Chains A and B, each alone.
Chain A
Amino acid sequence: MLYFNYFKLNRSARFIGIVFFIISCQQSEQVDFSTQIKPIINSKCISCHGGVKKNAGFSFLFEKEALGTTNEGSPAIIPGDAKNSRVIQRLHETDLELRMPYEKPALSKEEIELFTRWIDQGAQWGTHWAYIPPLKTRLPEVDSKFKQDNFLLTPIDYFVAARMEDINLFPSRQAESDVLARRAAFDITGLPPDQRLFDLYTTEKISYEHYLDSLLAQTSFGEKWASWWLDLARYSDTKGYEADRGRSIWKYRDWVIKALNKDLRFDEFTIEQLAGDLLPNPSFDQLLATAFHRNTMNNDEGGTSDEEYRTAAVIDRVNTTFDVFQSTTMSCVQCHDHPYDPFRQKEYYQLLSFFNNTRDEDLTDESPNLRSYSEENNQKVQSILSWISKYGDQQTHNFYRDFFQFLEPKYQAHNSTSLNPDLAYVSGVTLSMRNKGQAVYRNVNTKGNQNMYFKYSKTTHNTDLIFRKNSPKGEVIGSIRLNDPKDPQFANPKNQYAKLKIKAIDGFFDLFIETKNPSLKTKRENGYRYDDLAASLHWFSFVPELPAKNKRGFSSVEAAMNTVLNNPEHLTPIMVENKDFMKRKTQLFDRGSWLNKKEEVQPSVPTTLNQWDEEWETNRLGLAKWLVNEENPLTSRTLVNRVWYQIFGKGLVLTLEDLGTQSEPPTHPALLDWLAADFVSTKEWSLKSFIKMVLMSATYKQSSVIEENKYGADPENLYYARGNKLRLDAEEIRDQALYVSNLLSTKKYGPGVMPPQPEGIWEHAYLGNLWKESKGEDRYRRAIYTYLKRTSPYPSLISFDAGSREVCLVRRTPSNTPLQALVTLNDPVFLEAALSLASLYAHLPVHEAVKKMYRKAVYKEIDGEVLELLETLYSNAFQDFDQVPEKLQNFFNQKTSVDRKIASLAIIANTIMNLDEFLTHG
């Protein structure tokens, strides 16, 4: 394993060094379990004595198991008596069959000595730092030279300076103001700075702080940081899996942008996304926020089990929640106790039960969907609701308010069972029936309601749909003639929702459904192709009676109801909780397989983490409150560590995915905790304030020039003694090219757009989905608005390491590849940008034009040698075009031709847009 983990090797090796340093300093003192013993256990013992394997009945995972009786009938660790503890005896064994670690190198003398001392001192168990809530410590005292050098600008710098002192490093000088201005603009807005603002700052007309504040106030802030959040939220415009059809969930993307821009407190941001639907009287936006967990994939492939993929989505929600907010790999615990962190398998299913009661069931229509209406229909909704308020009770009002918003609770037809398979067939969303088709829906409950709403499709005239109670010949409790010309609710042939009277039944019963339409001839030889269908039913729902039937105006209320239900303007999948009478129970899955269900479990949180407050609701809302409770040790640490990564290209804990016993120790433990605690207490969960503080730090402002000897002392810059010359993100690279060439559109929000991409990228053998190239300004929108298809994301973004968003992506792995060079050299988007940049300055003498283009692109004055070099390239190109003027036709694959000068300048622009200084944030 070591052999292939070269990406990790250096890091680990270094940290072992740090650990030994700590150990050697504390020789005579009390041994600390978490920092001294647990790392040895995790690297040397836990794979055979942990959560997966418990060889010889012995495990180091939990205190109780470690000190408990093993297969040999007595404990292996006797606190206070190392000599007689079998663990220690086994470490000293000379017989290789008995010596531990089995078939692995022996522990070092120092390690055995530590272990021995720990047991002699009483084998005190400890809690890992990541499971203790962070505290703000006092700022460390540091050498006065840091102060003299003006390095101590923010609390961050004290902590960073203190660590630099440890290995005798000294900060780099501050970056030049033009470099810093460009870097900060990218880190806040994902774009190069506005020229006017840039000038104000670089000519010292405004302060750096003022400059940052201006950037933070721009709406491009949300558009940049949304990319980060949408990676975590696995946002995509398609459903994934084989068919990977489109999904309309962009309103959620817009919600994220807006929430970031208004600096919605991160605790509220969390609660609304996880449980907005469970808040009291949730607003449209709070419901919309729950689309966070509807970004799970949905399997439309024929023949797949909806329950299997519903379960897969629920599992993904548990895993994603813990990946996003807790930096904890819960997916390990799906099949067995966690191999090295203190989480038990049962706890996984207790968490899963929080998520197991939403209405979504992997249906093609993705219901439940949040419905938005046209202005006109919205007024209708309001007038119906006020009618109900005026004449009816609160309960009825709330029922209809919800029903208009997301059409729940309803029974989905795919859960019904056909009673005569050649006449009734459940497929996808629908129950399709021919004449005399019969099906049953088990365990329904009218909850005393006397009306049924249902959705149907593909219906011929005059099919009778008949509902019976408890048996195929049971009592008829309701019936309706579909598309009956006499029935006004069928007047509009586009309608798909209709209502009928139904007899209210007490308690649960089996609903039998049948169709009658003798005019239809059943053509059995048609196989599954039903062109002789009597009706296709999607769902049905029992709804309360509208009040004041006899009052004047009622008929228009009823007509309005029919109109609004049939005409939603837009649908976005959201989370809606099951009503009590529809609740699923949650069982533990044996070895993680959803088919092997074992004992039932109740919602609960892992005991290792913060305690549950009895005041909290026992549902997703309670879970969200638990996550953002200040006692939770992981949420704030996770957040500050991830934001830090976005800005510095690495986390304070390098293993961004994992804050736990197997993670790297923080490079700056006190800083991590200080920032995490400060984020909650002082910053009051404000992302913008936190980002601003980081950008105000001297640590951030350092130049990325690597001064002599500094590379060797700290190749990965773990001590922050210099800036990091990070490559821009995929979105930034595209947006920057469009921005500096004045092509970028500032249009915000709305459905995903389809800028030019090569033909044939979206080939799918039989679905025929097409990339319909956007027109006008939609070709030049920011990358965040580019339509993202999971099985085929936008090529240039993928080349620059953006993800395909199938699952939660905590970090992008930056790469540096020849395919990236081909994008920025030859992708038509970048060619068009180069031409456009060239055209801006074509009226100037070449010398001036090159200078201006460079400045416009890179935000600094061109160096004399570079200018010379580019001018020579210009002459070469010019000569080329002069000799072969045909080259100017459709130059750069454009529809028109250009003159020699613009073409030659475009070559220069193309060159500039491939420079390291253009592709990195300086």
Chain B
Amino acid sequence: MQARLNSRRHFLKDCTLGLGGIALGSLLNSCSFDQKTVYDYSTRRALNPMAPLAPPLSPKVKSVIYLHMVGAPSQLELFDYKPELAKLHNKPCPESLIEGKEFAFIEGVPNMLGPQATFSKEGESGNWVSNHLPHFKNVVDEVSFLKAVHTDQFNHGPAQLLMFTGSARFGRPSLGSWITYGLGSENNNLPGFVVLTSGGTPDAGKSLWGNGFLPSIYQGVHCRSKGDPVLYLKDPKGVSRDLKRKIIQSINEINYKEYQKFQDPEVLTRISQYEMAYRMQVSVPEVMNINDEPEYIKEMYGVKPGKESLANNCLLARKMVEKGVRFVQLYDWGWDSHGASESEALSKGFLNKCRDMDRPVSALLLDLKQRGLLEETLVVWGGEFGRTPMWENRAGIQNSLIGRDHQGEAFTMWMAGGGVKKGYVHGETDEIGFRGINGRVSVHDVQATILHLLGFDHEQFTFDFQGRPFRLTDVEGRVIHEILA
């Protein structure tokens, strides 16, 4: 008996004897996850839903780091330089701009608000960058700007949902879920889709990384910076690693007997999931630990170990894609610069947010580049919409602090990494940055482009639910070929 308990080999021997091809596939999955081919495709998928898959088209990148600035950062203070707007500063907004338009808070006739930053042309590309982003100036040649992104949602919750699920209403799978559903994971000790937040949870909450109608294994795993990084990851008090291993061995051994009796392959899947759970208990805290990184790396990102920060999350994102995590989603809360309070003012809170974002995000691009990872990773940066060239006047009275209202007509995003042009600008807004005048792209276009870079045709990548095929881009979306290298 003792021999049997201690002998994993015995277990494996039993596994590999006398079972059909299906069971064998699963056991090889569970015992040695590096097997990539051989077994019947859909069977493998059913037994190991996270098995890595090749996409239908040739992919440019393997993984994605998506940096979302929750609340919508002001493009007019960061990338979209509008000298004409300065001339209109504090003058009433022309009626033609606001007629028939709805805003979240602006009422009546607001004044215009000139850029609250100075701009310079940077890098070899000579693209405009604001003085709030001194570090970013060094990496501006890595990115393709989208300067005329538009959305039809101007409230946070719905706009975030549209950005990450393709629909402003709840219930659809998120971008990361679609991608892990389509591609599986390269690392079987870590979740395929990881979410990291700083500053607070985004307005639309967990639905932004929800699996919607896809199987729940594809939902984003929110790795928290306080407590267990993954829920219930830590063994309870009194249970050592060694004892946990014995517990899981016992469970799996009894379950295997159950399989022998019932011959139900679902039992084999359960066995492999328990093994993965056991491994995750070690590998997740390992990847979440940034203390052991070299000092110069910590310095470069400006990390604060033990704190929840965008800097820490940027470094974690790099560690994760390095380890084969498919999709890392970062949310940084606090960019809603209305000017209704100090933390929301362009002259106060916004500057702090810029400082806390500029360094780590630039470091992330550099770090990925120096490791040769940037060519197989797509980095996306953006908010859920943009901000008005007008000074917000809540209830018709100009806010006492400087701020801008929500604006869906035009805002800036950027992408960098494999398959994306370097030092490029696509799209242009009018002279006050109110509307896109050429190269307008929609949220669905951005999504179609991300899927394209990963090797998917967004129109063909569907899942049947409630009797019809659904896709991330709903019935719209066009790949932004202009920015593809």
Contact = CB atoms under 8 A, between A and B. Distances in A.
Contacts of A764: 200-201, 205
Contacts of A806: 169-171, 207
A660 interface: yes
Interface stretch (B82-90, B134-142, B240-248): B240-248
B258 interface: yes
B299 interface: no
Given A528-B397, A758-B227, A763 B200 contact: yes
Nearest to A655: B467
Given A763-B200, A826-B235, A873 B250 contact: yes
A907 B257 contact: no
B226 A725 contact: no
Contacts of A869: 1, 4-5, 250, 253-254
A705 B263 CA distance: 7
A866 to B, nearest CB: 5
Contacts of B227: 758-760
B47 to A, nearest CB: 9
B466 A765 contact: no
Interface stretch (A31-39, A607-615, A736-744, A910-918): A910-918
B103 to A, nearest CB: 8
Contacts of A919: 270
A917 B236 contact: no
Contacts of A493: none
B56 A6 contact: no
A876 B243 contact: yes
A550 interface: no
Interface in A841-898: 863, 865-866, 868-870, 872-873, 876-877, 880-881, 887-893
A301 B257 contact: no
Interface in A530-563: none
Contact of B204 (A242, A704, A828, A863): A242
B397 A524 contact: yes
A4 B451 CA distance: 14
B236 A826 contact: yes
B333 to A, nearest CB: 5
A305 B102 CA distance: 10
B201 A765 contact: yes
Given A421-B396, A822-B233, A915-B255, A816 B273 contact: yes
A790 B467 contact: no
A144 interface: no
Interface stretch (B61-69, B111-119, B412-420, B456-464): B456-464
A914 B251 contact: yes
Interface residues of A toward B: which range?
35 or more
Contacts of B234: 826
Nearest to B397: A527
Nearest to A725: B264
A161 to B, nearest CB: 23
B262 A815 contact: no
Contacts of A524: 397
B42 to A, nearest CB: 4
Interface stretch (A255-263, A401-409, A446-454, A797-805): A797-805
Contacts of B214: 813
A823 interface: yes
B247 A873 contact: yes
Contacts of B253: 869
A3 interface: yes
B237 interface: yes
Interface in A280-316: 297, 299, 301-305, 312
A303 B400 CA distance: 19
A439 interface: no
Contacts of A804: 170, 206-207, 210
Interface stretch (B122-130, B274-282, B438-446): B274-282
Interface string B195-228: 0000111111111001001111100010010111
A792 B243 contact: no
Given A5-B463, A765-B199, A865 B238 contact: no
Interface in B150-201: 154-158, 169-171, 182, 199-201
A758 B215 contact: no
B2 interface: yes
Contacts of B467: 327-329, 655, 657-658, 660, 662-663
A761 B460 CA distance: 36
Interface in B439-485: 460-469
A195 to B, nearest CB: 23
Interface string B257-268: 111011111110
B305 interface: no
Nearest to B334: A765
Contact of B205 (A7, A706, A792, A798): A792
B96 to A, nearest CB: 20
B395 interface: yes
A500 interface: no
Contact of B203 (A242, A801, A826, A872): A242
A876 B5 CA distance: 11
Nearest to A913: B251
A907 B237 contact: no
Nearest to B56: A3
A327 B205 CA distance: 30
A352 B216 CA distance: 32
B41 interface: yes
Contact of A807 (B154, B171, B205): B171
Contact of B170 (A527, A807, A820, A907): A807
Given A329-B467, A765-B199, A706 B42 contact: no
B154, B251, B267 interface centre (most CB from chain A within 10 Å): B251
A391 interface: no
Contact of B269 (A765, A790, A792, A816): A816
A791 B250 contact: no
A517 to B, nearest CB: 19
Given A763-B201, A790-B170, A792-B205, A887 B466 contact: no
A911 B213 contact: no
B296 interface: no
B273 A887 contact: no
Nearest to A303: B104
Contact of B238 (A705, A819, A887): A887
Leading 8 A-B pairs by shortest Cβ distance:
A658-B467, A242-B157, A791-B205, A765-B200, A303-B104, A806-B170, A528-B395, A821-B277
26 contacts: A1-B460, A5-B463, A6-B42, A6-B45, A303-B154, A328-B467, A658-B468, A759-B227, A764-B201, A766-B200, A791-B205, A804-B206, A806-B169, A806-B207, A815-B217, A818-B273, A819-B221, A819-B232, A822-B281, A826-B233, A826-B235, A870-B250, A873-B5, A888-B238, A911-B251, A915-B255
Interface of A: 1, 3-10, 240-242, 244, 297, 299, 301-305, 312, 323, 327-329, 331-332, 339, 421-422, 425, 524-525, 527-528, 655, 657-658, 660, 662-663, 704-706, 711-712, 725, 727, 758-761, 763-766, 790-792, 795, 798-799, 801, 804, 806-807, 810, 813, 815-823, 825-828, 831, 863, 865-866, 868-870, 872-873, 876-877, 880-881, 887-893, 903, 907, 910-911, 914-917, 919
Given A339-B468, A804-B207, 19 more contacts: A3-B56, A7-B45, A8-B464, A242-B158, A303-B154, A304-B155, A528-B397, A758-B227, A764-B200, A765-B203, A766-B200, A806-B170, A822-B280, A870-B250, A872-B2, A873-B5, A881-B238, A891-B238, A915-B254
